[in-house]
A and B are shown apart, each in its own frame.
Chain A
Amino acid sequence: MLDQTEGFVTEDGRKIGPVVMEMKNITLRFGGVVAIKDISFDIREGEIRAIIGPNGAGKSSMLNVISGFYHPQEGEVWYKGAKRPAMKPYQVARQGIARTFQNIALFEGMSVLDNVMTGRFRQMTSGFWAQALWKGPAEREEIANREAVERIIDFLEIQHIRKTPVGRLPYGLKKRVELARALAAEPSILLLDEPMAGMNVEEKEDMSRFILDVNDEFGTTIALIEHDMGVVMDLSDRVVVMDYGKKIGDGTPDEVRNNQDVIDAYLGVAHD
């Protein structure tokens, strides 16, 4: 079912489209340390794709490769049917790949609204001088962007803190603001780096609900990293499992759950 190029329909009736991003034989080294070793996988349009693995498996490195923060020594990244040349992170972002960070990277001194507005950077296309003079197109654009941002703020239920400087918010809300900012870019692929890290059960449930709703409502393709197995299995359509920089499993949650290598990696195995 997965090899159909045109996509497929999931059990709960969602339509998953063709491949939008493909990683081919990615190898990433830091000096002598091999962080990622010859990994290939793809991401399909409209799906929730998870990358899981124990600590230090290379998940975050993989995400950084996708978002252009790291450049692999070997392998190719294919995006929307074309091989992607080595790019700077801001160029990747402008191509429609938005991300959040494991340790939250928000503009602490700016209000929630301004933070989410920066997410619209890609959509603001009027020229430097029009912007500087705040004339015609720049003004209309700002209003249109503002409307889009307010929709997202409503959607993620952060209206009540719109004007609050982000630095004052508690951890859980910061995570949500970061999601809002990434979402504001209307990304083709949304990368979430441990969206539930450090959250309590209730916050995790909220975040899971938002991720599912985002995917459902906007049809956003989501690739996320987690090491909480339970959450991942409930959320995602397909899962890549990494361990020590290598891929040890790839498939639906059920397939992965029954994969002996994965079980060994998570539960440990006696070496003799």
Chain B
Amino acid sequence: MPEQLIWGMEVFFNGLMAGVLYALVALGFVLIFKASGIFNYAQGVMALFAALTLVGIMEGQVPFAHLINAIFGTEIHHFGWHVPGLLAILLTMVVMIALAWAVNQFIFRHLVNQEPIILFMATIGLAYFLEGVGDIMWGSDIKKLDVGLPQGINGPIDELTYNIFNYGFFIDNLDLVATLVAALLVIALVIFAQYSKQGRAMRAVADDHQAALSVGISLNFIWVMVWSLAGFVALVAGIMWGTKSGVQFSLSLIALKALPVLMLGGFTSIPGAIVGGLIIGVGEKLFEFAVGPMVGGATENWFAYVLALLFLVFRPQGLFGEKIIERV
């Protein structure tokens, strides 16, 4: 088999794995958009905030340490304990649920029935606010996140491919874990939305507020639940990205990569977010591999957006999105 093709296959698989990580972020967008019609610009920042909080709790950092020290002239930074990974994740989830409650209570409860663009603007505000709070709360330095996920080259795959192609594929263990987690997450979310009482109520609220009220659904409860779910997905994405490339501000920018994913997959489809993520991941890696050297590389920075642009022109609702029909 020609070398180029074998390398291409490796690139393809790595693209799939990268795509899974994009899909994880996109999933959070889809959830909120489906359930409340809000395009949540803050989803990426929520992932950053979740990762920051997780690291902070694990390291026993004192929240708002700088602020406290500045006001009281103290010198505290750490509680002096370390919290094990799993417990820290649970505690972070509690923080994310509290955040969901606050977001609903102080912002979106007051913006019911507003234009989508106003809700969108509110989420931009939320994004910058949350970014600042994350900074003040946990500090702005780059942090290492290690909750015990396996990392580094996967031995068996390396060996297997070496035996077949005489060339070992480099597949990161972390990417494999991310794939597994994403798959489980999607299955769980789909089952939840389709068959559970709360899931059905979530879809009902998205569809018609009045009708939802008339069958006894509390809108506020559902909204807090949806934002909590989005917080949970953000946490998962934050853990994966944080473990991969460290917890730092640029984490919030991966949200931008989720945009082309959503345009491809459709804003309202959970499977769409996955397939869109995979296409973008594979597409940009293969494109970089095949065309990159000819144009001087760095195609990964723009490929996804160009692809999304083409989709906007020819299929604006995305691959899986609901077709836009207007009755006249």
Contacts and interface: CB of A to CB of B under 8 A. Distances in A.
A106 B214 contact: no
A61 interface: no
B197 A131 contact: yes
Given A131-B197, A132-B196, A121 B216 contact: yes
Contacts of A142: 195
B197 A89 contact: no
B208 A67 contact: no
Nearest to B191: A134
A144 B25 CA distance: 37
B159 interface: no
Contacts of A114: 200, 203
A222 interface: no
Given A90-B213, A101-B211, A105-B210, A118 B198 contact: no
Contacts of B197: 121, 124, 126, 131, 138
B141 to A, nearest CB: 37
B203 A181 contact: no
A29 interface: no
Interface stretch (A15-23, A35-43, A92-100, A261-269): A92-100
B207 A93 contact: no
A93 B214 contact: yes
Interface string A81-94: 00000001111011
Interface in B107-138: none
Q: Quick one: which of B196, B198, B201 has the most chain A CB within 10 A?
A: B196
A91 B198 CA distance: 16
Contacts of A185: 215-216
Contacts, number: 87
Nearest to B198: A131
A98 B210 contact: no
Nearest to A101: B210
A198 interface: no
Q: How large is the interface on B (under 10, 10 to 19, 20 to 34, 35 or more residues)?
A: 20 to 34
Contacts of A90: 212-213, 216-219
B202 to A, nearest CB: 11
A118 B215 contact: yes
Interface in B198-251: 198-201, 203-204, 206-208, 210-219
B196 A107 contact: no
Nearest to A116: B215
B198 A132 contact: yes
Contacts of B206: 109
Contact of A110 (B203, B210, B216): B203
Interface in B153-210: 191-192, 195-201, 203-204, 206-208, 210
A105 B211 contact: yes
A119 interface: yes
Contacts of B218: 88, 90
Contacts of A124: 197
Nearest to B34: A109
A107 B206 CA distance: 8
Most chain B beta-carbon contacts within 10 A, residue among A105, A134, A182: A105
A134 B219 contact: no
Given A90-B216, A138-B196, A138-B197, 13 more contacts: A69-B210, A89-B214, A98-B214, A99-B214, A105-B208, A110-B207, A118-B200, A118-B204, A121-B217, A131-B198, A134-B196, A181-B211, A185-B215
